[in-house]
Amino acid sequence: MNLRPLHDRVIVKRVEQETKTASGIFIPDNAAEKPDQGEVLAVGPGKRDDKGTLQPMAVKAGDRVLFGKYAGQTVKVDGDELMVMREDDLMAVIEK
């Protein structure tokens, strides 16, 4: 991937969700919502505060994260659909 995020931005690839409900009903592709989970592929160096100090990022490449339905900007890179968003758009890191 030739994409390097700047400042407090992260590159996220959506993780595919289940197409079957707990009761065994299959959800067709056109009825399924876009997943709100993804894997962080790259992170920027961080944001600078008012004093010019670099604030480190709380997430790292490889983290699985939750984000809002309308968060970020979708871009296509090498045929993959990726999202570029600010660290503030992330709601949580999913711990394993």
Domain-embedded: residue 63: yes
pLDDT at 26: 67
pLDDT at 95: 87
Asked if 77 and 1 count as a contact pair (C-beta separation under 8 A), the reply is yes
User: Would you write out the chain's pLDDT as a tens digit for each of its 96 residues?
Assistant: 678 888 999 999 988 766 666 677 766 655 555 668 899 999 999 888 899 899 889 999 999 999 988 888 999 988 888 999 999 999 999 887
Q: Buried (b) or exposed (e) across 65-81, using 16+ Cβ within 10 A?
A: bebeeebbeeeeeeeee
Domain-embedded: residue 21: no
Q: How many structural domains does the chain have? A: 1
pLDDT at 49: 87
Tell me the C-alpha to C-alpha distance, in Å, between residue 20 and each of 23, 27, 32.
8, 6, 10
Asked if 83 and 13 count as a contact pair (C-beta separation under 8 A), the reply is yes
Q: Please state the pTM of the whole predicted model.
A: 0.76
pLDDT at 3: 83
Domain that holds residue 8: 1-14+34-95
Q: Residue 57, Cα to own-chain centre: how many angstroms? A: 14
CATH number of the domain bearing residue 80 = 2.30.33.40
Domain-embedded: residue 90: yes
